[in-house]
């Protein structure tokens, strides 16, 4: 058991050292790609390990930076870079059931399909009754509430950390926006299919005709375009979609470990620019939902207090969906699917993907299902059995805020000081592990560790990746359901994406370097597909950046009499070459 926390005066030197050193990782984290966790995470890992060793504080709980986040939580979260099975179960998922004080002090991770289901399905009732509490958390990640400060909501949190009344008030509107079964447009599938074809054609023509399909950047921008179109009827340019992905990437990278920064660092431009970017999107979503739902939404305002209104609460929830839920989870599995199709690396769990007939809708759909199961984009589903103490209150006063019948209150608002929120210290956290429940052989069979496409009925019965069992329509008329409302839409996007890709597969060349896989959170390494250059037997292919086209090359020593262009002398190779434009 870890020792009680030292006082700030006892640990002051350690706090300063941790805060100053971790700043050196800001640039690697901002500049790394959306899926390149290693560059950012390993930098922070080295810094934190050094602070712990130099401070001789391995047995202490140190709380540097913002929001009461302990240093050992950050260290444990960084250990996930080695893969989820290794971090939680020492590489052995079978029989793995519990890990105490991980990630972080006073946290318990729950594994095993049955245990996870039993806990997840209690969530609507337990949080409505006040027995459990949840904060600004995305899976095992605890978000820095600073990035929600411009959203006109309180508490500053993703919707999953809102008060029960707030959640129950806006959940039905989220279902209308993102639940395929409730969408007003009967033409959603056709819209997705058309947009997918346009996407692949545009990627073939990108780079002045050379072709460029980047994973994960381009698939993430594509999903953003699709969600904006089918949910809000708005067309988003490729440039605007890329701008969104840039902001999304920065927030994903800095969302957790920035809480090690001192308060003064939060006022620097690279932090405030993210806040301003988030605020601009939330303001746009506010206008959209206000126009779409009008008085129906305004009538709910008393239930969204102390947030400014339910329109702002819903707008912030839409932001959460676009940047982290569907906006990040869906492209994650589009990327893993494409990676499987093109990878020849030994780390690939399924090298037969290239042989699947994706024109078959059923096969394309279960391929997306299995990507969700094997490469789970949502890892944890947390709650707190003891709520972290609100800043400026006693523990008894904090405990009194948890009430029955959905009346649990947010911590008191105490000005705009970002340091006046505690998101961890003093609390007791429990996190069912959805990702490892998806790999539990006790439920999925002895081949659970293998990528194997199954009948869809099996996924419908066993899947937990969408928090599928966090449903209880008897609680707040379903307003406390936590299962992903965009589940059907996600699967439909994946189904159509891989179906349409079958029409373009032969037009993309294999990546220049092999596609590698990991055990999470980076499931697949970044890679790029380019337009395939189709040349004859024995011919080479080269991109001409001046002429903006591919050329097919043939050694004239091997015979060439009918090419349209005369041979060219190659001084480097000491021979003539003949060339012609490549066939597409």
pLDDT in tens, 448-505: 999 999 999 999 999 999 999 999 999 999 999 999 999 999 999 999 999 999 999 9
pLDDT of residue 74: 86
Whether 47 and 17 share a structural domain: yes
Does 357 lie in the same domain as 506?
A: yes
pTM, 2 dp = 0.88
> Does 525 lie in the same domain as 421?
no
Residue 4 within a domain: yes
Comparing CA positions, the residue from 388, 410, 381 lying closest to residue 303 is: 410
Highest mean pLDDT among 34-43, 526-535, 536-545: 526-535
pLDDT band at 174 (very low <50, low <70, confident <90, very high): very high
Residue 563 domain-assigned (yes or no): yes
Q: Are 31 and 108 members of one domain?
A: no
The Cα 454–Cα 463 span in angstroms is: 12
Domain assignment present for residue 155? The answer is no
Who wins on pLDDT, 9 or 178?
178
**In terms of domains, do 393 and 369 share one?**
no
Residue 214 bridge partners (DSSP): 528
Same domain, 228 and 334: yes
pLDDT given at position 2? 40
Domain assignment of residue 501, yes or no: yes
pLDDT at 418: 53
* Model pLDDT for residues 496-520, shown as the tens digit of each residue: 999 999 999 999 999 989 999 999 9
Q: How far apart are CA 3 and CA 308, in angstroms?
A: 41
| pLDDT over threshold 50, residue 49 | yes
Residues 523 and 545 in one domain: no
Q: Is pLDDT larger for residue 574 or for residue 519?
A: 519
Residue 576 belongs to some domain of the structure: yes
Contacts of 71 (CB under 8 A, 6+ apart): 18, 48, 51, 52, 57, 61, 62, 63, 64, 260
Q: Is 420 within the bounds of a domain?
A: yes
Rg for the chain, CA atoms, rounded:
26
Ranking 20-34, 203-217, 222-236, 378-392 by mean pLDDT, the lowest is: 20-34
105 in any annotated domain:
yes
Mean pLDDT over all residues of the chain?
Answer: 87
Q: Identify the pLDDT of residue 367.
A: 98
**Residue 305 forms part of a structural domain:** no
Q: Looking at the 3D structure of the chain, how many domains does it have?
A: 4
Cβ-Cβ contacts under 8 Å for 56 (sequence gap 6 or more):
none
Is residue 109's pLDDT more than 80?
yes
pLDDT in tens, 436-447: 999 999 999 999
Structural domain boundaries, residue 128: 87-142+379-464
Backbone angles phi, psi at 327, to 5 degrees: -65, -15
In degrees and rounded to multiples of 5, residue 19 shows phi and psi of -65, -45
Together in a domain, 366 and 413: no
């Amino acid at each position: 058991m870890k020792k009680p926390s030292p006082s700030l005066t006892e640990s002051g030197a350690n706090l300063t050292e941790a805060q100053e050193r971790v700043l050196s990782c800001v640039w690697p984290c901002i500049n790394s790609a959306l899926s390149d966790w290693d560059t950012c995470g390993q930098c922070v890992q080295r810094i934190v390990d050094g602070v712990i060793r130099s401070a001789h504080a391995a047995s202490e709980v140190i709380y540097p930076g913002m929001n009461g986040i302990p240093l050992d939580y950050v260290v444990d979260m960084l250990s996930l870079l080695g893969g989820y099975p290794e971090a939680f179960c020492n590489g052995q998922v079978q029989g793995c059931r519990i890990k105490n004080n991980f990630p972080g002090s006073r946290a318990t991770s729950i594994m095993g399909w049955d245990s996870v289901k039993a806990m997840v399905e209690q969530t609507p009732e337990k949080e409505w009754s006040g027995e459990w509490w949840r904060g600004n958390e995305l899976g095992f990640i605890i978000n820095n509430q600073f990035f929600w400060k411009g959203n006109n909501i309180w508490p500053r949190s993703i919707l999953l950390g809102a008060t029960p009344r707030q959640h129950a008030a806006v959940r039905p509107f989220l279902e209308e926006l993102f639940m395929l079964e409730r969408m007003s447009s009967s033409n959603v599938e056709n819209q997705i299919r058309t947009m997918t074809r346009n996407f692949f054609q545009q990627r073939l023509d990108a780079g002045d005709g050379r072709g460029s399909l980047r994973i994960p950047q381009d698939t993430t921008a594509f999903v953003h375009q699709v969600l904006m179109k089918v949910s809000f009827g708005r067309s988003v340019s490729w440039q605007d979609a890329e701008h969104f992905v840039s902001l999304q990437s920065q927030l994903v990278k800095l969302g957790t470990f920035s809480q090690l920064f001192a308060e003064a660092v939060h006022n620097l431009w690279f932090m405030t620019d993210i806040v301003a970017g988030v605020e601009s999107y939330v303001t746009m979503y506010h206008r959209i939902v206000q126009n779409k739902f009008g008085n129906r939404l305004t009538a709910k305002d008393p239930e969204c207090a102390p947030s400014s209104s339910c329109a702002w609460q819903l707008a912030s929830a839409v932001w959460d969906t676009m940047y982290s839920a569907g906006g990040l989870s869906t492209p994650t599995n589009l990327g893993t699917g494409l990676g499987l199709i093109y990878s020849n690396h030994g780390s690939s769990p399924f090298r037969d993907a290239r042989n699947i007939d994706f024109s078959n809708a059923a096969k394309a759909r279960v391929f997306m299902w299995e990507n969700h199961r094997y490469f789970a984009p949502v890892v944890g589903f947390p709650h707190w059995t003891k709520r972290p103490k609100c800043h400026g209150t006693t523990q008894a006063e904090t405990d009194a805020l948890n009430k029955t019948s959905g009346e649990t209150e947010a911590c008191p608002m105490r000005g705009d000081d970002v340091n006046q929120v505690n998101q961890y210290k003093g609390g007791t956290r429990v996190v069912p592990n959805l990702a490892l429940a998806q790999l539990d052989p006790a439920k999925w069979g002895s081949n659970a560790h293998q990528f194997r496409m199954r009948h869809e009925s099996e996924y419908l019965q066993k899947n937990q990746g969408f928090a599928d069992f966090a449903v209880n329509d008897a609680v707040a008329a379903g307003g406390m359901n936590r299962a992903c409302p965009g589940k059907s839409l996600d699967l439909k996007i994946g189904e159509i994406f891989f179906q349409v890709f079958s029409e373009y597969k032969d037009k993309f060349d294999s990546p220049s370097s092999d596609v590698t896989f990991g055990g999470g959170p980076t499931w697949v390494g970044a890679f790029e597909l380019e337009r395939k250059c189709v040349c004859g037997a024995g011919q080479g292919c080269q991109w001409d950046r001046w002429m903006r086209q591919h050329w097919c090359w043939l050694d004239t020593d091997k015979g060439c009499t009918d090419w349209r262009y005369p041979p060219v002398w190659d001084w480097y190779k000491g021979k003539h070459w003949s060339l012609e434009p490549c066939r597409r």
